Amino acid sequence: MARITAGVGCSHVPAIGVAMDTGNTNDVYWKPVFNGFEKSREWMKKQNPDVIFLVYNDHCTAFDASCIPTFSLGCAAEFKPADEGWGPRPVPVVKNHQKMASHIAQSLILDEFDITIMNDMEVDHGLTVPLSVMYGDVKPEEEWPALVIPLCVNVVQYPPPTGNRCYNLGKAVRRAIESYEEDLNVVIFGTGGMSHQLQYKRAGLINSKWDKNFLDLMTRDPLAASKISHLEYLRETGSEGIEMVMWHVMRGALNDEVTEVHRHYHVPASNTAVGHIILENNT
Ligand code: DHB
Ligand code: FE
C-alpha cells in the first residue's frame, strides 16, 4: 500500500525562485535563506519519495475571479510552469501520478469533500518554489525526482477554508492515499506563509514570535493550531499569512505524534518570513 512517511511545511516566496534561476543564491542577502535548506536537500535525497502530494495555492494564474474553487485536485498528466510575467520559470514540467490522483479524487469526493477536478492546469510559484528549495537546481530538460499530485486551495478570495476544514481534509487525504494499492513512499507538502502582507497600510508586516509558535504547534499540538481563526491570521500575520491554513492539510495527514527532524526560520525574504519544517511519521 502507499504510505505517507513525512510532511514538509515550506514558504513559497517567488523571489527565492528568481534567486535560484538567476544564480544569486550565494549573495549576502540570500545565503542565510538557502543555508537553512541544505539539510532539507540531503533529507530529500535520502527520503527519495515516489510521490509528493503538494498542497499549494494559485495566485490568479490558473484561476481568476471568474472561477474560485475552494479545493481543486490536479488530475492532468502534467502541469506546465506558468508565465507569471517574466516568462515561465526554467524548471521541468511537473509530472503527475495520474492513476493515483484519480483514486484520490474518487476517495475524497465519496468521503464527502467536494473537490474540483482539474484536467488542465498550469502551476505558479506556489508549487514550483517549494519543489526548487527542497530539490535544489533541476534543469528544465531534466525531470523532477518525484511525481507530484497538486492540491490547490483558495486563499486569495475570502472566505478561504478554515484551518479545521483543512486539517480534516488532511485526514481524508491520508485515507485516500493509504487505500491505494501500489507500494509508494509519499511525502506531503503544506506550503505558503509565513507572516506577510503585500498590500496597503500594513504592507511589510512580519510577526516572528507568532510564526515560531505556529511551528511549535505544528509539531506538538496540531489540533490547537487547526483552531486558529481567520481573524487571528489576519491580525497577527498580515493578509497573506492566511496561506498558512494549507499547512493544516499536511499536518492532518500525519500521525498525532511526529518527529521534527528539521526546522528553518529566516526573516525576511522579499516581503515574507520564510518558515520551514520537516516532520516524520513515527512508525
Ligand atoms: C511574496 C510572497 C508571496 O507569498 C507571494 O505569493 C508573492 C510575493 C513576496 O514576499 O514578495
Ligand atoms: Fe503567496
Determine whether the shortest distance from the Cβ of 196 to ligand 1 is under 6 A.
yes
CATH of the domain at 36: 3.40.830.10
The answer, yes or no, to whether residue 282 has pLDDT greater than 90, is: no
Q: What total number of domains does the chain contain?
A: 1
Rounded to the nearest integer, the mean pLDDT of the chain is 98
Q: Whose Cα sits closest to atom 10 in ligand 1?
A: 271
**Cell output for 27:** 549573495
CA of 42 to the centre of ligand 2 (A): 26
- Is the distance from the beta carbon of residue 239 to the nearest atom of ligand 1 less than 6 Å? no
**Domain, as residue range, for 260:** 3-281
What's the pLDDT tens digit per position in 53-90?
Answer: 999 999 999 999 999 999 999 999 999 999 999 899 99
Is the confidence at residue 283, as pLDDT, over 90?
no
* Closest ligand 1 atom, residue 240 Cα: 4
| Rounded alpha-carbon distances, angstroms, from residue 217 to 19, 39, 53, 209 | 30, 22, 22, 13
Cα separation of 275 and 64, whole Å? Answer: 27
Q: Write out pLDDT tens, residues 243-265.
A: 999 999 999 999 999 999 999 99
Judge contact between 144 and 131, C-beta under 8 A.
Answer: yes
The preferred substitution site among 155, 196, 245 for testing ligand 1, maximizing ligand atoms within 8 Å of CB, is 196
Average of pLDDT values for 134-151? 98
Ligand 1: centre distance to CA 179 (Å): 36
Give the residue numbers marked as catalytic.
125, 196
pLDDT digits (tens, 9 = 90+) for 189-240: 999 999 999 999 999 999 999 999 999 999 999 999 999 999 999 999 999 9
Cβ atoms of 94 and 149 within 8 Å: the answer is: no
* C-alpha 270 – ligand 2 centre gap (Å): 11
Residue nearest to atom 1 of ligand 1 (CA): 13
